Structure 1
Amino acid sequence: MSWIIIAGAATASSVFVLAVVNLYLYLTYRERFMKFWAYAWGVHTCRYLFLIASVIWPEHLFLRDINYLCIIVSAVLLLTGTRIFIGKPVGRLETLIGLVIGSWTVLAPTLRLPAPYVVVPIFAFLSYTYIHTGMQFLKSLPRRPTSRITGWLFVLWGIHQADYPILRPIEWFAPWGFIIGSILATSIAMGLVLIYFERTYQTLREKEERHEQLIASSHNWIWEVNANAVYTYASPQVLDLLGYGPEEVVGKTPFDLMPDAEAKRIGAIFAAIAARQEPFFRLENTNRRKDGRLVVLETSGVPFFDSQGRFCGYRGMDHNITERKQTEVQRELVKQVLLVLNEPQDLKGSLAEVAHLIQGHMDLDAVGVRLQEGDDFPYHVQLGFPRDFLIKENTLIERNPNGESCRDEHGRVRLECACGLVLSGHVPKGHPLSTPAGSFWTNDSSLLLRLSPDQDPRHRPRTECIRQGYASTALIPIRYKDRIVGLIQCNDRRSDRFSVEVIQHLEGIAAYIGAALIRRWSEDERINLEKQLQQAQKMESVGRLAGGVAHDFNNMLGVIIGHAALGLMETAPGHPCHDHLEAINAAAERSAELTRQLLAFARRQAIEPRIIDIDDAIANMLKMLQRLIGEDIQLIFEPATRMWPVLMDPSQVDQIMANLCVNARDAITGTGRIVIQTGTVVADADYLVNHPEAELGEYVWVSVSDNGCGMGQETLPHIFEPFYTTKGIGEGTGLGLATIYGIVKQNRGFITVRSEAGQGAIFTIGIPRHRGAGAGPPRQEGNHALPTGSETILLVEDERGMLGITCALLKNQGYQVLASGAPDEAIQMAGAYGKPIDLLLTDVIMPGMNGKELAEQLKAKHPGLRCLFMSGYTADVIANHGVLQERIHFLQKPFLLPTLASKVREVLDLPC
């Protein structure tokens, strides 16, 4: 039986190795089933030891019984571990049977039963246990070679256990039985280990795939750095975040990807954290992309250690928070912009601060703000633009080769460039470079050069931005109510500086600027209205004073002019007094002209409006105007192609043009140019913003511009004030522009002026369009003999001197004159006169009764009486704000004899 000892020892050794291997695996991986397997193979090793002992000491039958008991316990432990391994619950039935069989193994020897009664139940249980375990492997585990082979080995081992009671007594087979059992047990143990490692590998592979999928689905960049802060791993997301591939990042440090100042700051922070081997979270840091752009990342990391507990580095992730930081910056920018716009300072100063804020927060090369000034949109504020750029781009008005502004079919000035496109509101909807709010932007200005003409929405393209190297351009409209009044211009030489979100943010800032403009301009409008009210009150006071002065002064001038005329008629040209009388007459006429200017300024001048064409009126006086300004100054007249008629006294057109041209002439030193332009305009709510003195309606406008010395801002507020002049003593009265202002207001028009020192001046006058039918008769000019007559004239004048000289002049022309110094006396004289009276020639302003009331009383008694009023100041008795009432005949004092004779004859010849 020595072969049993040798075979048992060999089998025990191999099974013991399996027990040690499983015990090691259990202690390493702490898998519960490994513990049961280790115990099973350990007990199985003991089984062979007790078998050898029972052979050596056959007299000790308990050794054989312990051998059988070890076989049963080993089988139960192996079955339990296997069920745990395959995820099945531990079988209570098998455990119970094992306890019963174990008890039977202990009790059977005491009953002195034959050996088969003891052995058969034991090996029947073992056979069932191993075959059942094998079937569990075949059913429950994946169909892989290892699991299937192991399952069948368990089945074979179970069959081998079943044949043990039968074949064991056969002496020649017994050694082979031990060998077969040892091979099956060893193979099964190795198969279990291989199945475990296969499953472990599969689990690790699934974990790795899950880990890779999680990394792939993450927007964050996963990384690992060693103890020296050198990247040893970088996930593919680094390409999206920084533009580098993972292989480009590995071997670098995080600080290699940062600007120098940021690298120094973050390096100090990371060194302190790594020295304490602490985790860190949400550490904000700025990195530079491969293309040069900056991105802000939020970094979190935890330390990791090797099996010996030594610090190995950090693992973590980076999250892109650039958009969030931009939003924070934008919110802060909006906050500061609102604070600036609500500060009580001038508009230009506020916009300059806003431009600085935009440039600083957005890191832009250049920022400008254009605001409307008349028809143009010059830079109100600009930062960072080169001087030569500003010289070329400050104005947007399109001009023809003669330097004249171009207009569209509606009379609006045409604007060039993409700026003009935005400011005119003509940005096409859906254009790739536009937004629904009317903005125009691009990150590659060179694209504008490649647009075909039918795709280019600009009226006349400019390329100065491209020549200056500005790759990124944004033009954001500023709106006042429903009208575009300016724009924000942002330029940068770097590409990809703007996005839809950034443009929308700038559109929000533009809206705040527009709201600020509404507040500022509303306040300015209120202040202007107050000034206009004060000016109107002042003008009314001056007008009353001028009217009073003119009434008495014109009477005295009338006496002087009349007596001088009579003296000249009675004195031969060679008489010593003839020259003196002409000098008196000339001085009196200049004084009368001064009085007329004063009345025109005060809007008290009596006028006779006619339906006229402004272009014709100006064209008829061009030669006179050219003589007036001299040959050294070029006079250019640019009439409109189609004009509306106006209702206006032609003489007032002469006064306006003469005064404006003389004013322009005096502003020009040496040679120069004066341009007269005309046109039509519909004054709507938008138009009134820049022309607050106008009212809603249709206007004919006339502008007179020059390239003279211009006026400073300290002069402009005073130019329409009476007697205000910048000329030297004796060079001007200061009534020229005041006269124009009075005439314009008398005709319900408006006047504006734009000027800067050294930049010339542009005066624009608007006169309401006349929609009535018919045209006034042309003025008759030329030299004619003084008309005479023999009719009877009732002359009423409260100024005795004026009464006497007028009576003498009329009698000199052959008329019968009834002279009266008061209205009551005139009524009595008319009643006492027994003959018909052909004409009432009366002063307007008289004590007790005015001329109109006198005429009404006399016409009630003398129905065919014709009336001619005369005055130096009508005081609205026969005129509304200087405009003569219908069918009123008027003679302005002081008058010359030809004027008196012609007017009297004209009225007498009218039908009753």
Structure 2
Amino acid sequence: MPWIIIAGAATASSVFVLTMVNTYLHYTYRERFMKIWAYAWGVHTCRYLFLIASVFWPGNLLLKEINYLCIIASAVLLLTGTRLFIGKPVGRIEFLIGFLIGSWTVLALSLHLPPLLVVVPIFAFLSYTYIHIGIQFLKGAREELASRITGWSFIVWGIHQADYPILRPIEWFAPWGFIIGSVLATSIAMGLVLVYFERTHQALKEKEERHEQLIASSHNWIWEVDANAVYTHASPQVEELLGYRSDEVLGKTPFDLMPEAEAERIREIFGGIAARQEPFFRLENTNRHKDGRLVVLETSGVPFYDSRGTFCGYRGMDHNITERKQAEIQRELGKQVLQVLNESREFKGAVEEVAALVRERLDLDAVGIRLQEGDDFPYLVQAGFPPDFLMAENTLIERLPDGTSCRDEHGKVRLECTCGMVLSGAIPEGHPLATPAGSLWTNDTFKLLPLHDVRASRTRSRSECIRLGYASLALVPIRYKDRIVGLIQCNDRRKDRFSEELIQHLEGIAAYLGSALIRRWSEVERLDLEKQLQQAQRMESVGRLAGGVAHDFNNMLGVIIGHAALGLMDTPPEHPSHDHLQAINAAAERSSALTRQLLAFARKQAIEPKLIDINDAISQMLKMLQRLIGEDIELVFEPGSGIWPVLMDPSQVDQIMANLCVNARDAITASGRIVIRTGTALADATYRANHPEAGSGEYVWVSVSDNGCGMDRETLPHIFDPFYTTKGVGEGTGLGLATIYGIVKQNHGFVSVRSEAGEGSTFTIGVPRHSGAAAPPPGRW
């Protein structure tokens, strides 16, 4: 029967192709069911080979047995693989039935039973198996067309297997039966492959969707770079991290997004890793956000390769650790600030170091620290502010056009600008930019404008921070007990530089500065009190002695002057004793003047304070002062305008001016120049820095300058000591400047001196402005 050979060969060839296809798919995708299918089709191929062989050796019983066993084994394997594919458990009953039928087949052939008793059980089992598989496919089919076609193909093939024992003996139909079986087998095999790929594609699609959803829900930036470190993929999270859209990053390298120094550092590290094609994990790197701020990322990546094993680049992700790094920096900064403040002996140097640390570690454009001096809060230290900003912002006191400070209804000096509002506690309670500790901060300084508008009726806003382009601003008060005594000011031109956590950290640094300030002021106060006590005890002792002696001596001088005057009245000018009496009288008068100086120094001189204009008082004695200093010295008077009245005994003014001018005259060797100036001043922080003896308030001042020999630094600390003089014996009493000191202190004023050897001297006397009643009654006050 040659038709059996041709049909069997054709069917074996097609089934062998299915075997090779499934074998390739198994080795490509490593699916277990593919392997079982390959075995099933391979066994099915063998079935046709043994069928053809049985034609040539029709009496060979073994060939028939193997043929039928291959049919049974192929069906069991195909059923097993398909169950695995559709996710059904492998049924043991099918294996048992297959084993029993196989055993029956061998037995029936051995006993030479009729062919129908041999083939009917076999093909009934095949029919059941294929129809069962088809039904399972149809039940498990989702929307895939291939699954439905494959399921119905299995069912048709199962029906075909049922009719095989009946139609096989019909000679003209037998070849078509083989062809139909081959077509159905091929359709089923290809359908299985198509279903596999459809489901694989669907699984990949679902996996990609899940992956995209995970990426979308993640805050990490997923990226891919090629072998040249150029971005070929960037997830949308890059915009959240660095402000760039994904398409803006593509074509760039990671180093293009970093500051220059950081780019060089990371390029060197990454170059070594990429050369070895190693994975890397948690590589910290600093990037520049699109708005200019710095962002710290933690980067991990793994190399990837193409199908030929060629290195293609890296895939990885970036995680934002800026907040964590800032917290670490803040903790370290706090430790460094404490260390500086605890170890430093010089307060200003320590504060300068603190300001530099805050600016460097927090990467800020400018940092300034204000501390109270009198009624003002000038910068004690600053770093990064331009000169024009400091000129406009150093002092905060609001002034009228004539320079007078403005005060509120409680008499407190009014402070300008946002700094002044924080320092004076004028920020409205519950303001969104304020913290419970009294700090004020913003990442957009334009939000401060409404704050200034609220206060416009009380003070003038400067808005220098806005004018100079500072976008982020933080003002943190420094407290001493319950009082604000200073302020930390942080400025940056970039937005979003501050956070609530960072402000809380700066408030901690302000507390450290407040503690250090307490220690410093306590030490300074202690030293000042000791110095004042020593000076007061020394002056009191000398004053008590000088005052007692002068008082008694003045009484005796009164007797001498009186008797000398009576003698002169009784003695004509031509009498030989007249000249002697005049000499006695002149010496007694000079001695009396000396006792008056002693009494003034001892503050026991009777005075009559009056409201006087200091310009008028000096103008009236210019001729007398010119006679005192001589014609070789030029005397210049430069009166100030708008001089306030002062409450003072006019004779004390005369005494001060005479002593100062005589002192200046003695410092000039030949010809020279003495300049007297007057003016008014508010003793703010800047003024008091030049005149340490001045207290806070408003003063009328008089200065006497000369171009004489000046004084060295060893002399200056002693010039107000009583009986201290640099003149020769008999040339000075050492009481002139001590007397001035006593008079000034008696009038609650100050005296300061600026002098250098060979550069002349300038003495400045300050007396408080009088704004009360006309004058108290005469007496010792």
TM-score (norm 1): 0.70
For 1:251, the equivalent position in structure 2 comes to 251
Deviation larger for 70-79 or 330-339:
330-339
| 1:25-77 residue CA offsets vs partner (Å, 9 max, x unmatched) | 11222211111111111111222233333344433344333322221111111
1:466 Cα shift? Answer: 4.7
1:195 Cα shift? Answer: 1.4
1:104 Cα shift? Answer: 0.3
Distance 1:240 1:759, change over 3 A: farther
SS in 2 for 1:485: strand
Contact 2:50 2:67 in 1 (8 A): yes
1:726 Cα shift? Answer: 10
Distance 1:730 1:364, change over 3 A: farther
Distance 2:171 2:414 in 1: 122
For 2:403, the equivalent position in structure 1 comes to 403
Distance 1:707 1:435, change over 3 A: farther
For 1:633, the equivalent position in structure 2 comes to 639
Contact 2:280 2:301 in 1 (8 A): yes
Match among 599, 610, 614 for residue 596 of structure 1: 599
For 2:183, the equivalent position in structure 1 comes to 183
For 1:52, the equivalent position in structure 2 comes to 52
SS in 2 for 1:735: helix
The one-letter code of the counterpart of 1:590 is A
For 2:142, the equivalent position in structure 1 comes to 142
Distance 2:175 2:387 in 1: 110
The one-letter code of the counterpart of 2:512 is Y
Contact 2:744 2:767 in 1 (8 A): no
Deviation larger for 493-502 or 589-598:
493-502
For 1:93, the equivalent position in structure 2 comes to 93
Distance 2:704 2:213 in 1: 78
1:703 Cα shift? Answer: 4.2
For 2:742, the equivalent position in structure 1 comes to 739
SS in 2 for 1:397: coil
For 1:816, the equivalent position in structure 2 comes to none
1:693 Cα shift? Answer: 13
SS in 1 for 2:252: coil
Contact 2:612 2:645 in 1 (8 A): no
Distance 1:480 1:709 in 2: 41
For 1:376, the equivalent position in structure 2 comes to 376
Distance 1:210 1:458, change over 3 A: farther
SS in 1 for 2:602: helix
Distance 2:160 2:6 in 1: 20
The one-letter code of the counterpart of 2:639 is I
For 1:81, the equivalent position in structure 2 comes to 81
Give the RMSD, CA atoms, in angstroms: 4.5
Distance 2:261 2:230 in 1: 19
1:586 Cα shift? Answer: 4.7
Deviation larger for 68-77 or 577-586:
577-586
Deviation larger for 116-125 or 724-733:
724-733
Distance 1:655 1:489, change over 3 A: farther
Equivalent residues in 2 for 1:263-282, closer than 5 Å: 263-282=263-282
Distance 1:206 1:340, change over 3 A: same
Distance 1:566 1:375, change over 3 A: farther
Contact 1:397 1:405 in 2 (8 A): yes
Distance 2:165 2:459 in 1: 110
Check if 1:345 corresponds to 2:345: yes
Distance 1:4 1:536, change over 3 A: same
1:106 Cα shift? Answer: 0.5
SS in 2 for 1:297: strand
Distance 1:18 1:213, change over 3 A: same
Match among 619, 623, 628 for residue 611 of structure 2: 619
Distance 1:703 1:492 in 2: 40
For 2:758, the equivalent position in structure 1 comes to none
1:100 Cα shift? Answer: 0.5
The one-letter code of the counterpart of 2:53 is A
Check if 1:160 corresponds to 2:160: yes
1:129 Cα shift? Answer: 1.7
Distance 1:470 1:729 in 2: 62
Contact 2:366 2:384 in 1 (8 A): yes
Contact 1:365 1:493 in 2 (8 A): yes
For 2:678, the equivalent position in structure 1 comes to 673
| 1:390-421 residue CA offsets vs partner (Å, 9 max, x unmatched) | 44433322222222222222222222222322
Note the residue ranges of structure 2 that are not aligned, 5 or more in a row.
623-636, 665-672, 684-690, 756-760
The one-letter code of the counterpart of 2:150 is T
| 1:635-692 residue CA offsets vs partner (Å, 9 max, x unmatched) | 856589xxxxxxxxx9x877888878889999996464344999xxxxxxxxxxx999
The one-letter code of the counterpart of 2:245 is G
1:568 Cα shift? Answer: 8.5
Check if 1:4 corresponds to 2:4: yes
Distance 1:142 1:443 in 2: 56
Equivalent residues in 2 for 1:637-716, closer than 5 Å: 670=675, 672-675=677-680, 703-706=699-702
| 1:176-234 residue CA offsets vs partner (Å, 9 max, x unmatched) | 43333223222221221111112211222222223223332333322222223232222
Distance 1:533 1:2 in 2: 138
Distance 1:344 1:259, change over 3 A: closer
For 2:625, the equivalent position in structure 1 comes to none
Distance 1:722 1:80, change over 3 A: same
Distance 1:776 1:491 in 2: 51
The one-letter code of the counterpart of 1:633 is P
Number of aligned pairs? 735
1:731 Cα shift? Answer: 10
Distance 1:372 1:586, change over 3 A: same
Equivalent residues in 2 for 1:557-572, closer than 5 Å: 557-560=557-560, 563=563
Equivalent residues in 2 for 1:199-348, closer than 5 Å: 199-348=199-348
Residue identity (%) = 65
Distance 1:717 1:399, change over 3 A: farther
For 1:66, the equivalent position in structure 2 comes to 66
For 1:813, the equivalent position in structure 2 comes to none
Distance 2:456 2:103 in 1: 102
Equivalent residues in 2 for 1:772-851, closer than 5 Å: none
For 2:545, the equivalent position in structure 1 comes to 545
Equivalent residues in 2 for 1:473-512, closer than 5 Å: 473-494=473-494, 496-512=496-512
Distance 1:139 1:309 in 2: 42
The one-letter code of the counterpart of 1:155 is I
SS in 2 for 1:402: coil
Distance 2:240 2:195 in 1: 42
Contact 1:709 1:760 in 2 (8 A): yes
Check if 1:515 corresponds to 2:515: yes
Distance 1:136 1:12, change over 3 A: same
Distance 1:4 1:618, change over 3 A: farther
The one-letter code of the counterpart of 2:20 is V
Distance 1:465 1:639, change over 3 A: farther
Distance 1:663 1:484 in 2: 44
Distance 1:31 1:127 in 2: 27
The one-letter code of the counterpart of 2:341 is L
Distance 1:413 1:719 in 2: 35
Note the residue ranges of structure 1 that are not aligned, 5 or more in a row.
609-615, 641-649, 679-689, 695-699, 745-749, 781-881, 884-912
The one-letter code of the counterpart of 1:108 is A
Distance 2:240 2:715 in 1: 62
Rg bigger for which structure?
Answer: 1
Contact 1:157 1:184 in 2 (8 A): yes
The one-letter code of the counterpart of 2:312 is C
Contact 1:674 1:706 in 2 (8 A): yes
The one-letter code of the counterpart of 1:313 is G
For 1:875, the equivalent position in structure 2 comes to none
